[in-house]
């Protein structure tokens, strides 16, 4: 798959993720915060069970050979989904997405720079720092009215 196709794939998946928070927030209003997170992950798990059974691409038995930290993806997903359930109604979907993206960007730059989690190191350069700076400015501007600025 070419690099531009990967970028398009991520833009599309990002657009779909923007729908996830309001969908889960609507579910939360009906069943509760943690219950809606559970339902979300159960539906996702069911879809993945079908895919695994249909493709038989990998080998689930090899899970016993992985390191403990390689199992944290689902926990991270559960934390993120639950955080979106709380934040989207308070700061809006746009504010929630840009704040999450800012956090992801900071972590991604550090992971790339130091080669954490077994990724090939990619140094932080001026372009990446400028992009992060612009994203942080965007996050502040988009969430400006959500901040409780004290007037003197």
67 assigned to some structural domain: yes
pLDDT for 151 equals: 60
User: What integer pLDDT is reported at residue 1 of this predicted model?
Assistant: 82
Q: Could you list the residue range(s) of the whole structural domain that residue 131 is in?
A: 3-146
Could you read off the pLDDT of 95-131 as tens digits, one per residue? 999 999 999 999 999 999 999 999 999 999 999 999 9
Structurally, the chain folds into a number of domains equal to 1
pLDDT average, residue stretch 84-90? 89
pLDDT digits (tens, 9 = 90+) for 15-44: 998 899 899 989 999 999 999 999 999 999
Asked if residue 99 is part of any domain, the answer here is: yes
What confidence tens digit (pLDDT) does each residue in 128-147 have?
Answer: 999 999 999 999 999 999 88
pLDDT number for residue 105: 93
pLDDT level of residue 2 (50, 70, 90 thresholds): confident
Is residue 152 domain-resident? Answer: no
Q: Can you give the pLDDT at residue 23?
A: 92
Q: What's the confidence (pLDDT) of residue 150? A: 66
- The answer to the question of residue 51 being in a domain is yes
Q: Is there a domain that residue 82 lies in?
A: yes
Q: What percent of the chain has pLDDT over 90?
A: 76
**Residue 152: is its pLDDT beyond 90?**
no
As a whole number of angstroms, the distance between CA 105 and CA 117 comes to 16
Q: Is 151 part of any domain?
A: no
């Amino acid at each position: 798959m070419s690099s531009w196709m990967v970028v398009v794939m991520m833009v599309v998946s990002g657009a779909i993720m923007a729908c996830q928070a309001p969908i889960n927030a609507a579910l939360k209003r009906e069943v509760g915060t943690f219950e809606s997170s559970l339902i979300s992950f159960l539906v996702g798990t069911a879809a993945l069970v079908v895919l695994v059974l249909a493709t038989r691409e990998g080998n689930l038995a090899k899970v016993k050979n992985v390191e403990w930290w390689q199992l944290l993806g689902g926990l991270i997903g559960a934390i993120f989904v639950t955080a979106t359930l709380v934040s989207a109604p308070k700061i809006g979907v746009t504010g929630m997405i840009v704040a999450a993206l800012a956090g992801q960007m900071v972590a991604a730059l550090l992971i790339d720079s130091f080669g954490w989690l077994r990724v090939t190191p990619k140094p932080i350069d001026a372009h990446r720092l400028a992009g992060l700076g612009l994203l942080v400015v965007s996050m502040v501007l988009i969430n400006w009215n959500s901040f409780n600025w004290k007037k003197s």
